[in-house]
Amino acid sequence: MSTEHPSSAAPAPDVPQIDHEHADVSGGWLRAAVFGAMDGLVTNIGLIAGVGGAGVAAHTIALTGVAGLVAGAISMGLGEYASVRTANEQIEAEVAKERRELHRNPVAEADELAQRWIDRGISPDLARQIAQDLSRQPDEALRMHVREELGIDPDSKPSPWTAAISSFICFSIGALIPLLSYLLGSHSLWLALGIGGVGLFTAGALTARFTRRRWWSTGLRQLLLGAAAAGATYLIGDAIGVSAA
């Protein structure tokens, strides 16, 4: 008769670890930050290319860029705040409407929720049972109805202040990049546009960290879009400068 020591038993197979971590997609900062940085870059690259194409002095180009930075950053911050605040207020109004409906017609609302699940393939008995159980928990029932009927999570609304501050800061940083060479004493338009182009590519590549796309693809896309904007404003500035002369 042989006995095995517990330590000699075969090791348990490794259980694969599943990554369930997700990025925060509802906080409101990422969209505002990316949009702000890209808008700051493209806006000031376009401004610099336009006034530079008109043949104005380097001091005037720098002044135009600084004015564009300040005005654009304030506008972006206020716009993001108003936009997100308005969207949140609309969500709150719809949630309040759904709360009233649940209070007035709880049976009909439970049937409506069950029917949505039945349409998705859940068995009728199970769908109705879950809907009835939820109706006994008003807060959870409200959240579920809002998610199913409006497609939103009432507990995950973005912050208007987060969106505004992110947009303000990132626009300012983006708009500053093509101005750097002028602020440091250079008079070269093409150096400023080149630095702006590097900024566009870098900003686009950095977004790949959040979107999990190829960094060079997103960087090249932003560079081409910015180059198109700069080319258009340069040609307009050149035409106006020549005609005004």
pLDDT band of 21, cuts 50, 70, 90: low
Cβ neighbors of 169 (< 8 A, separation 6 or more) are 33, 36, 73
The whole model's pTM is what?
A: 0.80
Q: Given this model, what pLDDT does residue 37 score?
A: 92
Amino acid at 164: A
Contact (CB, 8 A) for 1 and 136? no
Q: Given this model, what pLDDT does residue 150 score?
A: 85
Task: Identify whether 11 is part of a domain.
Answer: no
pLDDT band of 116, cuts 50, 70, 90: very high
The position carrying tokens 């049937």 is 111
Task: Identify whether 56 is part of a domain.
Answer: yes
The mean-pLDDT minimum among 12-26, 80-94, 142-156, 158-172 falls in 12-26
The mean-pLDDT minimum among 8-22, 94-108, 179-193 falls in 8-22
Task: Identify whether 147 is part of a domain.
Answer: no
Cα distance between residue 44 and residue 175, in whole Å = 5
Task: Identify whether 129 is part of a domain.
Answer: no
What is the average pLDDT value for the chain, to the nearest integer?
87
Which residue range is the domain that position 47 belongs to? 29-91+159-244
Task: Identify whether 2 is part of a domain.
Answer: no
pLDDT band of 35, cuts 50, 70, 90: confident
Task: Identify whether 176 is part of a domain.
Answer: yes
Burial 191-221 (b: 16+ CB within 10 A, else e): ebbebbbebbbbbbbebeeeeeeebeebbeb
* pLDDT, tens digit, 9 for 90 and up, residues 41-58: 999 999 999 999 999 999
Q: Given this model, what pLDDT does residue 149 score?
A: 85
Task: Identify whether 43 is part of a domain.
Answer: yes
Total residue length of the chain: 245
Task: Identify whether 70 is part of a domain.
Answer: yes
Contact (CB, 8 A) for 51 and 61? yes
* pLDDT, tens digit, 9 for 90 and up, residues 176-205: 999 999 999 999 999 999 999 999 999 999
Number of domains into which the chain is organized: 1
Q: Given this model, what pLDDT does residue 7 score?
A: 47
Contact (CB, 8 A) for 61 and 182? yes
